Amino acid sequence: MAILVIKLGALGDFIQAYRAMTAIRAYHRDEKLVLLTIPSQRELAEAFGLFDDIWTDTRPKLLNVPGWLALARRINGARFSRIYDLQANSRTGFYFRLTRPPFSFRGVEWSGIAPGCSHPHANPERTTLHNLERQADQLLYAGIDASWYPPLDTSWVQEDISQFDLAGTPYVLMVPGSAPAHPFKRWPAAHYVELARRLVAEGCRPVVVGTRSEQEACAEIAAVSPQVLDLCGRSPIMTVMALARDAAGAVGNDTGPMHLIATMGCPSVVLFSGHTNPRNTRPRGPFEGPGAAVPPPGVDPVTVTVLRRDDLAELPVAEVRAALRLRR
């Protein structure tokens, strides 16, 4: 028999689903496990090493009837014995309907929030929970309790970062960008510039990561000193995670790469504007929540600090620096 896991979300949501995915893999250790996700998450999903097959979801538009029929044929043709809907939204709720008549007469066990599914996540407080606890609670309703969570393991992050010549140098990751459609989620570049100056004066090397769309802010920070390493446009997922493993700390906006960094146990300060409530989605370190790793002796299990202002321009550099607890 085969099991399907559905997770379509953005980078931060996807990495936070990793722990639930490991529990599903442990519970169904002798069954074929398939993931349905979006193309941008395929690299990370392959690195997890949990899935026997990875399907790319084309996310058909509302009126794309051939697209919906093709998706129905693919899901029903695989004859899954159970589907875990970790996305749990209106789109995947419709995917549930594709597994019912007239698209299929067989039916399939389904864990999620779709009306009529066999294993509904019926907790009325589910929307108040952080992603990690919400997914663990969903799995509990499907029969997977905490005993199925293996210790959190990120040994699959194997990227070689020796090319950056950072060995022996305390460095701090900076993530000054965010999705272009959400400029309000960005702490001003001038504040990052001032923070970079302070870190250089303390003997730390700022390392700026981001996409090509954030090059202007990255270049502004890099102009502070030759000590600043600008990896904007040269920092794919695995590079960011490998850098985070040895970084002294990290500061960044509420954006996907900060979730990657936090997962690696890097002491992090994440900056939230008033547009986002960190309660449900804030980055979490490896020593918190379901499937948490055991912290080394003397290591604070809480490695992520959240700072929030309605307008991030009003968040002082001094407050951010004070919140950043560097490891040496």
CATH code at 209?
A: 3.40.50.2000
Residues 235 and 113 reside in one and the same domain: no
Residues 109 and 168 reside in one and the same domain: no
**Over 80: is that where the pLDDT of 181 sits?**
no
Q: Read off the pLDDT of each residue in 152-164 and give the average, rounded to a whole number.
A: 94
Q: What is the pTM of this model?
A: 0.94
Assigned domain for 156 exists = no
User: Which residue, 148, 175, 205, sits at the end of a domain?
Assistant: 148
Does 28 or 215 have the greater pLDDT score?
28
* Strand-pair partners of 253: 271
Residues 228 and 315 reside in one and the same domain: yes
Residues 140 and 176 reside in one and the same domain: no
Domain total of the chain: 2
Q: Read off the pLDDT of each residue in 194-223 and give the average, rounded to a whole number.
A: 94
- The size of the chain, in residues, is 328
Residues 110 and 12 reside in one and the same domain: yes
Assigned domain for 328 exists = no
Q: Read off the pLDDT of each residue in 2-21 and give the average, rounded to a whole number.
A: 96
User: Which residue, 119, 148, 177, sits at the end of a domain?
Assistant: 148
For residue 282, the 8-state DSSP code is -
Residues 6+ apart with CB under 8 A from 203: 170
Does 293 or 82 have the greater pLDDT score?
82
Nearest CA-CA partner of 240 in 180, 312, 168, 164: 164
The residue type found at 161 is I
Assigned domain for 154 exists = no
Residue-number span of the structural domain to which 66 is assigned: 2-148
User: Which residue, 148, 171, 198, sits at the end of a domain?
Assistant: 148
Mean pLDDT of the chain: 95
Residues 67 and 200 reside in one and the same domain: no
* Other CB atoms within 10 A of residue 66 CB: 8
Instruction: Quickly state the pLDDT bin for 3 (edges 50, 70, 90).
Output: very high
Assigned domain for 155 exists = no
Assigned domain for 309 exists = yes
Residues 106 and 231 reside in one and the same domain: no
Residues 6+ apart with CB under 8 A from 142: 82, 84, 111, 119
Q: Read off the pLDDT of each residue in 122-137 and give the average, rounded to a whole number.
A: 96
Specify whether the CB–CB gap between 233 and 156 falls below 8 A.
no
Residues 178 and 139 reside in one and the same domain: no
Assigned domain for 303 exists = yes
Instruction: Quickly state the pLDDT bin for 62 (edges 50, 70, 90).
Output: confident
Instruction: Quickly state the pLDDT bin for 190 (edges 50, 70, 90).
Output: very high
Assigned domain for 121 exists = yes
Residues 6+ apart with CB under 8 A from 163: none
Q: Read off the pLDDT of each residue in 50-75 and give the average, rounded to a whole number.
A: 94
Instruction: Quickly state the pLDDT bin for 182 (edges 50, 70, 90).
Output: confident
Residues 175 and 313 reside in one and the same domain: yes
**Over 90: is that where the pLDDT of 186 sits?**
yes
DSSP string, 49-95: T--SEEEEP----TT-HHHHHHHHHHHHHTTEEEEEESS-SHHHHHH
Residues 6+ apart with CB under 8 A from 167: none
Residues 6+ apart with CB under 8 A from 80: 1, 2, 3, 4, 34, 108
Instruction: Quickly state the pLDDT bin for 13 (edges 50, 70, 90).
Output: very high
Assigned domain for 64 exists = yes
Name the helix (H) or strand (E) containing 269: strand 268-273
Report the number of secondary-structure helices (H) and strands (E) in the chain: 12, 12
Residues 119 and 15 reside in one and the same domain: yes
Residues 315 and 166 reside in one and the same domain: yes
Residues 204 and 101 reside in one and the same domain: no
* Other CB atoms within 10 A of residue 216 CB: 11
Q: How many CA atoms lie within 13 A of 2 on its CB side?
A: 17
